[in-house]
């Protein structure tokens, strides 16, 4: 849920420091807020807000949505309003520094997160932040979901990063995603939720849906007790090649230096690569899972033999 910033004037920036607010603003066009294109964007934002609420990705006044309609103009949702209740007249427009330039309601206190994404990723036109329960569960646990289990997830989302926790609505919080958003279109926000960017508001919301469904499936599969099935390396490379042709970002397309860095629970990928003789993190993960399956397969007959011996010798109660 968004933390409400201190109330600012219609032309001021919520939560901005005096030095930041005193900067001369870049040129903006308030008339963009009333164009036919803006009206379509507003309707799409309201429709996506309703989807987020219906799918239980947001509660209370939580979550926020934005669209970059001009070089320095961003339409966004207001603070303190349920996404189910959004109407086009409720929306706001801010510049890339967070100064409100249109709209009668105060802009969301987490707009700074969206603006940092737009500045870092020029091709990003829309951003959606929400709290889908299974994906947020991974964010609270501080782990990322494993890869190469469902093809749609690899195509549309792929490798997921976790941004460190900071207080929502602050500039420090907004900047936590900067190391990740160029190579990840969807990022887990530790102890908070998810943010995703795309060319349209609808596509950004789809990314959140894909991630949430995937996290739900993986969590359910783990409870069944059987080894999880992994897509083969060759088939996985086919998926990545298709994704690259579609122009979608993925850290696995980046240079080795861009892929180095710490991942939750596992140390650094650079260290993993060195230990594995130059293999990348995805290859190491595949090998570890394959070896685990083979070890479990070898242990299964031994376990069965031990159980049979116990039954025949009366050393243990008979299992039913």
Query: Would you tell me how many other CB atoms lie within 10 Å of the CB of residue 122?
Result: 9
Q: Are 131 and 193 in contact (CB under 8 A)?
A: yes
Nearest C-alpha neighbor of 162 from the set 134, 191, 129: 191
Token pair of 214 as six digits: 């995937």
d(Cα 301, Cα 128) in Å, to the nearest integer? Answer: 50
Is residue 127 helix, strand or coil? Answer: strand
Quote helix, strand, coil % in the chain, to nearest 5.
45, 15, 40
Query: Would you tell me how many other CB atoms lie within 10 Å of the CB of residue 304?
Result: 10
d(Cα 176, Cα 166) in Å, to the nearest integer? Answer: 8
Candidate list 44, 73, 97, 110, residue with the active-site label: 110
Query: Would you tell me how many other CB atoms lie within 10 Å of the CB of residue 5?
Result: 22
**CA 27 to centroid of chain Cα atoms:** 31
- Provide the residue count of the chain: 320
Cα-Cα-Cα-Cα torsion 143, 245, 230, 217, nearest 10 degrees, comes to 60
Question: What are the counts of helices (DSSP H) followed by strands (DSSP E) for the chain?
Answer: 11, 8
**Residue 290: C-alpha distances to residues 234, 283, 284, 285 (Å):** 14, 11, 10, 9
Which DSSP letter does residue 124 get?
-
294 is catalytic: no
The catalytic site residues sit at 110
């Amino acid at each position: 849920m968004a933390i409400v910033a201190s109330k600012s004037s219609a032309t001021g920036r919520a939560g901005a420091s005096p030095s930041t607010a005193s900067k001369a603003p870049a040129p903006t066009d308030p008339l963009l807020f009333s164009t036919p294109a803006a009206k379509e964007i507003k309707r799409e934002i309201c429709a996506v807000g309703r989807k987020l609420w219906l799918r239980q990705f947001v509660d209370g006044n939580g979550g926020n949505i934005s669209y970059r309609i001009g070089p320095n103009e961003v339409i966004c949702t207001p603070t303190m309003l349920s996404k189910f209740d959004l109407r086009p007249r409720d929306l706001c427009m801010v510049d890339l520094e967070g100064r409100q330039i249109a709209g009668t309601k105060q802009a969301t206190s987490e707009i700074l997160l969206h603006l940092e994404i737009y500045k870092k990723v020029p091709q990003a036109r829309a951003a959606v932040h929400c709290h889908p329960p299974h994906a947020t569960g991974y964010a609270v646990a501080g782990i990322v979901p494993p890869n190469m289990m469902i093809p749609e997830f690899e195509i549309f989302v792929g490798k997921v990063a976790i941004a460190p926790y900071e207080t929502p609505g602050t500039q420090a919080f907004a900047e936590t995603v900067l190391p990740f958003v160029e190579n990840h279109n969807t990022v887990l926000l530790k102890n908070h939720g998810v943010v995703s960017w795309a060319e349209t508001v609808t596509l950004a919301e789809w990314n959140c849906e894909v991630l949430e469904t995937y996290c739900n499936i993986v969590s359910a599969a783990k409870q069944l007790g059987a080894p999880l099935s992994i897509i083969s390396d060759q088939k996985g490379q086919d998926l990545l090649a298709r994704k690259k042709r579609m122009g979608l970002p993925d850290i696995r397309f980046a240079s080795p230096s861009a892929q180095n860095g710490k991942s939750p629970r596992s140390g650094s990928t650079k260290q993993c690569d060195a230990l594995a003789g130059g293999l990348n993190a995805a290859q190491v993960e595949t090998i570890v899972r394959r070896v685990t399956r083979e070890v479990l397969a070898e242990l299964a007959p031994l376990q069965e033999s031990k159980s049979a011996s116990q039954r025949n010798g009366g050393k243990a109660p008979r299992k039913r």
